[in-house]
Structure 1
Amino acid sequence: MDQKVKAQNSIKVRLVFSFFIVTLATGILLILSYAPTAKRELTKLSQNYIEDLAMAYGGILDGEVKKADGDATYVLKADALSQKLDGVGIKGVESCYVYVVDENGTMVYHPDGGKIGKSVENEVVKQAVQDVKDGKEVKSGVRIYDYRGQVKYVALYVSTYQKFMLIVSANESEVLAPVTKMNRMGTVSLVGTVMIGLIIGVIFSGVIVKPIVRMTNFANRLSSMNFSDHETGQKLFARKDEIGAMSRALEYLRTEVADVVREVREQSGLLLEASDHVHDSASETATTMQQLDSAVGEIADGASSQAGDTQLATEKVVNMGDMVEQTANQVDDLMKYATRMQQSGQGATEALEQLEQVNGQAMQYIHVIAEQTDTTNASASKIHEAASMITEIAEETNLLSLNASIEAARAGEQGRGFAVVAAQIQKLAEQSNESAKEISEIIRVLMEDSQKAVSIMEDVKEIFKKQSEHVDNTKQAFDEIQKNVEQSIAGMSAIDDKTKQLDKERSGVIDIVQNLSAIAQENAASTEETSASVTEVKAISDQLSEEADSLKNISHTMEQSMAVFQI
């Protein structure tokens, strides 16, 4: 049951995350609450300040113009203005300075002396100068404009005599620099505060979670059926908070369950021991009844079988008497058949003797034919040799006639008659050669047939030899059969005598077997009643044994279930 908690589900992680979120949210809310206000107030204060500067120094200059009866020539001299306006501005804001333009828009004073005598570049001031020239009313006050990507504040004082304008200028970025610095410091403070909050959260969550972890371990031990005492629980019991109350409740549950488990274990042990005794007694009783039932069953089966066997024996004895009579009749028939078989065997023996004589004569004739075939084969060989010689002589004669023809041709007219004779000789030689070839072919076929005849004769001689052996074996077998038939006739005569004696004893055996059959039937009826009683007792003992087995299984199951608990 002890399962590791994932980090995202851990109470400690959640507490630390809560501290982080609360601290971060608080810091962000603080920054979001004071930063805009500070910016707004500082902007307003700075604008009022530069406006006051413009009003104050513009009023001073206006007073001097008034003293000069409206002549601003002396008042607007650069040296005189420099003595009055040098260093005027917001302390710490370098972009804040004062400059003065005349009624034509020419700068009569500027901290940067290089710009004195030049037309003013500020569009706001240019417009104000133009409005004054146009006779429009231009009020003194602060104006905001964008100059080359920078926001600037301009406090404008218009002379009562419209002889000059005094301008106090400042960059918004420098004016609000304290706010930016304060925001930066606030962010750093926020990060530090968040880190401190995280550390405090880790420590605080550890303090909170540690007893919860101990409590979880204690509960896991109980869930794994371990109800033994442990020092972890003792430390938790002394706590005065909810963890202590939970641990004390679990401890009460542990002690109560442990007591119940001990009691159940003791009772299950006693139950198992008693069930073993009952099971053993029931098994012995069942075994005894099984043996008794088997014995009674065997007796009943034996009695029934005996009754049936005696009844069957009676029937068999009666049947035996009938078969004895039939056997006597069949023995008489067998005697007749044996006599006939003896006569037939004698006839077969005589026929085999005649066959043996005929077979011997055939073998003699086959030997004569084989010798004649060999003689014919030898003669054919000699004829083949003579034909070969004739072929050689014919070829030589043909060659000689060819030579004679050539010589006759050379002799011309005188050799013509000789050439005719040579041609006839050549023709006769060719005919002789052809005849010799035909004779050789005939002799070859004759020799092949002769060889086949010799081979066939050898096979026939082998067949007749085997036939003679089979005839001898058959004759010996018929001699043995003849002897056995004679012995069978003698045995059947003895069987006939014994059968007649058996028929005389048959009546006494029938009476004895019938008495035994009546006794066996009475024994079978008694044993069947006894077997029924034993079967009923055995069924009761079997049921008791089954109940004992069931009780024993329940005891074992309870013992195994209790073994899970550790106390």
Structure 2
Amino acid sequence: MSKKSTIIRRSGKIRNKLLIYIVPIVVIMIAVLVIIATTMSKRRMTDLATSNLNSSISNQTNNIESWLNENLEFFKTAKQGIEGLNPDDEQLQIILNSYYGFNSNSPEGLHIATSDGKFIKPTNSELEESDPTNSIWYKQGLSRANMQYGTAYKNAEGKNVVSASAIINYGDDSIKVIAADVTLDKISIIVNSGVKMEKASSFLVDTNDNTILAHRDSSLVSTTLSTDSSDALLSSVAQAIKDGEYSTREIGSYVVAFKEIKGTDWVLVSYIAEDVIMASIQELTNYLVIAGTISVIVIIILIIFVVSKVVAPLAGITNSIRAMSEGDFTIDVQQESNDEIGVMSGRIAEFVESMRNMISSISEQSKKLKQESENSDSVSKDMYEASQSQAEAMQQLNETVDQLAIAVGDIANNATTLAAVVADTRDNSHKADDAMKETVKISQKGREDMEKLSNAMEGIQVANGKLVDAINEVGTASEEITNIVSMIAEIAEETNLLSLNASIEAARAGEAGKGFAVVATQIGKLAQTSSESATNISNLIEEVHRLIDEAVGQANASAESIEENSELISIAVQTFDQIYENIQASNDCIEEMIQDVQKVDDVATNVAAISEEQAASADEILATSQNMVEQAKTISKNSEDVANNSHELANTSDTLSSHVQQFKI
């Protein structure tokens, strides 16, 4: 009962050790995988959200810029038309009346203020300026020759507007500023409803005075951003605008993107809460933790099951080893599997069978040994006296023969060693000769490969020349394209002038030419677009010319490099020729060395043959002496020393028998 409990306790310890080593590793690995997956997902979702936010704000910015430019082009065309007509006050009034209500984004049309305080507006306009020279749009327009947007402000009606203004000149020496007010209602719509990213928001800021021009929260419109604001997001945005830092980044609990509106001092700010971004990450993390926990539990159960199955056969092996340690070899060990434990059981079974046979044999031999030792004791006493007389005579003869045999043996060994060394040297020489011949073949092949490489370099040089010619042809074609683009630019300029003249004629025609003025305006835009496209194409052609010049320079450099490499390859071919000659000379020397070694081998063979004959003679003498020594040994076996040993052998046999009796077989 105690044996069984001990065996179960020991196998349990092995299982516990395996579980202690394996389970924490599995738990740590799954935890690390969950952490890595969560971290990478968080990083990926943040990058994706930032990318979407940048894409959304870029789309909004493009829409705002497109809307502003569309209106600005209309104002520029109207200004150019007025300047081209050089109208008097009556004609000017008619022109301004024609633009009233023409643009829905600027319903009040165009208005003009002079340096002497005169304010000219469309007849139906409700705009009022008591002191136009002190107005924001007038002061901003004094510094511009072309129509440009200024800062946003509230007009007399309390609406948020931005004015496009510039100095206008139509023939007299007075200073006049023409302007048009654009309401920000359309921009507010773009800012509030143009956000592509779900749950993201935007607002527009005028950086001149940090005024919020558009915001989803209408109560914040027309308020001023401040770094002292109680709202952490607004105060941080105000600080970023103050520092001029418009990179996308995390501010508090938001991801914030900035985008400047070209042609204005406005900055569009778009933001989204990190909680929105992280909501899906938290859900994914929860799923991963649950899946990881379930995986750990399942793996632990599987590990316990597998370990128990693996460790169970060790109990029987432990029981068998314990029985063998107590001297019991009657046990029967069975091999139940082909794994390491099964092999261990099979080996133990073989060991038990081997021990049974060995113990039985020792028991039988100990009995025989005891009988022989008793017989030897009686015979040794009879032979002792005869061995004494022969021992002295044989001692002298044996010493003489031993010295002679040693001398002859040394000569034979030295001769044999010499012959073996010479044979090894001859074999090594043949191997060196074979290796040298192989080296000659390899060097010859290397020389042929270098010649092929030289021919290939010449082909590359020819191909490089053809590449330069092709690049030059591309340069010629680009020059022809440049001429065509120049012709397109001239046509665009003439079309623009015709459009301007048509606008002037339409203005003169009054109400009847209003429709024609719209067509002339569109033609002017088309001409302007064609001119800009021609300019862009010209710039691209210049860039192509520059790249062609660089390509030609690189091709010439490649040609020089190819020539240098061709010279190096020629030098390498000459070097291979020299190596080939040196290897050939070394091969001749090795062949001469092989012939000399052959001569030495013949001499060593003769010496070995002579030594073997002498050794044979010495062996015959030694054999005779050995026979006499054997007779002396036979007598000595029956001497008194053998008798004493016989007694000891008998005692040893008794002891051995007592030990063997302790084993069970």
TM-score, length basis structure 2: 0.35
Larger Rg: 1
Give the structure with the larger helix fraction.
1
Structure with the larger RCO, 1 or 2 (CA within 8 Å, 6+ apart): 1
